[in-house]
Structure 1
């Protein structure tokens, strides 16, 4: 029954609606109520598998295969979460159990386990304590620990009341003046179709946004495909006479692999704004290729460039997978950014809630720290 309840909690909390994220706070209570380590493992597995249920379909779409590779990756990704929570489960109630859960939460927030630390309950902090920043994160962590003690019924009532109050006072914060995120529906052709026509279509989209008053336009991850001198020259020439800066995703390739980046482009210049810290494991980040002496795969810049600057503003950039895990967000927040820019290329998530979960997560973090959010996704 505990495992079934944990599965329901994971499924409801992570449907892609920021308002349901606080349901994840029930997970530590179910983990703590487990009568044995095996049950704690089943509870952890049920929660994680339900929360990440879109992965098999996403993998099948990405590789144009059946569901089996996705199912194997789905179960494989759950092993870290299950192993950490099962190993740290404590039969003895009280402070020991709470400290054990704290250790599990920290391990799932930072590498190496944090690399697959999806569905972390702390993501919901912003839906309970909007604008509280680090104090809100600490309050949420305290609430999670309280859920592992015998006081969990009282903690549930208190957190539930805070949740209702927060939902009733919900307000959307507008992006900074002049900023415009552009969502696209170009499917898998974005970033793979290198025809001149697609670049011209994107440039036309940027020009229309400029005509509507935008000064900074954000395009999705991989929007420009492979970044080359020819592509740079095309974009800079086409932007002449237009007072606008474009933030767009691209891949910069060399003999050892590639970087998944955000670029800034204007008529005057084009620069690398940000190199992705944590690309998608397996499909993009393949460290075993380097270990075996082969090149290829996206590079992970783990703790590099947590903050970038553009036009005098401090930006927290998050590309795709970084929106699903904790440490890239928290590392960026340490530097007091003024805006979050979140991009993704989610064509491969068709039939799943992955992009919706990414958006819900970024909304929750932006709300916690009271920071404007600009998003751009391709479906």
Structure 2
């Protein structure tokens, strides 16, 4: 009787450890997440597979309750509720697709991998093990992604020890030769430490301070200066005139986060501003579900949330190059970056406003995920975050 309970308990505790370590915010530890498909496949019942899935996902996303509590200035309960609800899709997919038939199990896991990478389930497809592809196959591009996918399915087969040994060898080899993605030539990302005031206090003095920051970085030789998500606040003709007027005497282009407001809600965007004027550079494809994107408003007839453009503008032109922008939440899920890579951009631009994540590893996970994807496809990377 003790043995009947010991094995499931060990699997659940192991899944929690794998989720916590693999998603601790270090690129080199992302391959630890590959232990999840193995634990899922050796579960002997659907219930154990569900509990293993829950342990992994909840551990990987453990920073969410505290982050939500900070964002809404509330107690921990709303964050805990969102945390549990977000895990529901991951657990449901992996428990429904689990099977006792070992011959079918690899195909089932492959299906689960695909489902959790694309909408609608991919909307909460955090902690996807395929993200580790960049840590195991840097520079391999789509071939690396296919090999990673095959490796995940292989871990759900009877020959998993051989597959695990091969993947571990690749992991160690990659770790020895690892280098971080380089910056695009002429580009600089600016990290800010303005806390919750960024984007909320967007008065004249704040705008002047940001412009001075851009000019200072441009004075060091950068032609394109990237500021974090929400840096400018609301994008209006008045704000545009202010920025263009000051940048008119130089060659610098500022890329900054802003919100474009209308009667139906708002778009979370990046704007590009230079001496010739300002324009919407990018519209976020997937805002944060719940706090920003609120699809239930369509049913109630209300408005005010951020719009999700899903598959719009995966690559945008800037100067003589083409960039793949990712704003905040898009760095935690799979399909936005893969959609962008289908268009072979020249580099990746990743921005975020993570003041609410203090005390959690959320920003570190965003950086690690984006770095892994950039390395997989051998793309330069520019990052700008506010804390």
Q: TM > 0.5 between the two?
A: yes
For 2:322 and 2:275, the matched residues in 1 are separated by 22
Given candidates 176, 180, 203, the residue that maps to 2:184 is: 176
Q: CA deviation at 1:194?
A: 1.9
Q: CA deviation at 1:172?
A: 2.3
Structure 1, gaps ≥5 residues long = none
After superposition, residues 358-377 of structure 1 pair within 5 angstroms as 358-377=366-385
Conservation of the 8 A alpha-carbon contact between 2:181 and 2:371 = no
TM-score (norm 1): 0.99
Given candidates 142, 152, 160, the residue that maps to 1:144 is: 152
1:91 is matched with: 100
For 2:334 and 2:285, the matched residues in 1 are separated by 12
1:129 is matched with: 137
User: Are positions 1:223 and 2:256 aligned together?
Assistant: no
User: Are positions 1:186 and 2:186 aligned together?
Assistant: no
User: Are positions 1:111 and 2:119 aligned together?
Assistant: yes
Conservation of the 8 A alpha-carbon contact between 2:180 and 2:371 = no
SS in 2 for 1:250: strand
User: Are positions 1:353 and 2:361 aligned together?
Assistant: yes
Conservation of the 8 A alpha-carbon contact between 2:207 and 2:232 = yes
Conservation of the 8 A alpha-carbon contact between 2:257 and 2:268 = yes
User: Are positions 1:328 and 2:332 aligned together?
Assistant: no
Conservation of the 8 A alpha-carbon contact between 2:269 and 2:283 = yes
User: Are positions 1:74 and 2:87 aligned together?
Assistant: no
User: Which aligned segments of 4 or more residues in structure 1 are displaced greater than 4 angstroms?
Assistant: none
SS in 2 for 1:273: strand
1:247 is matched with: 255
For 2:140 and 2:365, the matched residues in 1 are separated by 22
SS in 1 for 2:100: coil
User: Are positions 1:12 and 2:31 aligned together?
Assistant: no
Q: CA deviation at 1:192?
A: 0.2
1:234 is matched with: 242
Q: Give me the CA root mean square deviation.
A: 0.6
1:160 is matched with: 168
Q: CA deviation at 1:193?
A: 0.3
For 1:342 and 1:240, the matched residues in 2 are separated by 26
For 1:377 and 1:112, the matched residues in 2 are separated by 27
- Once the two structures are superposed, residues 340-362 of structure 1 have per-residue CA deviations (whole angstroms, 9 ceiling, x without a partner) of 00000000111100000000000
SS in 2 for 1:287: coil
- Once the two structures are superposed, residues 254-310 of structure 1 have per-residue CA deviations (whole angstroms, 9 ceiling, x without a partner) of 000000001000111100011000000000001111221111100000001111010
SS in 2 for 1:253: strand
> Number of residues paired by the alignment?
378
SS in 1 for 2:323: strand
Structure 2, gaps ≥5 residues long = 1-9
1:258 is matched with: 266
After superposition, residues 273-312 of structure 1 pair within 5 angstroms as 273-312=281-320
For 1:124 and 1:31, the matched residues in 2 are separated by 18
Q: CA deviation at 1:173?
A: 3.0
SS in 1 for 2:310: coil
Q: CA deviation at 1:312?
A: 1.5
> Quick check: 281-290 or 363-372, which moved more?
281-290
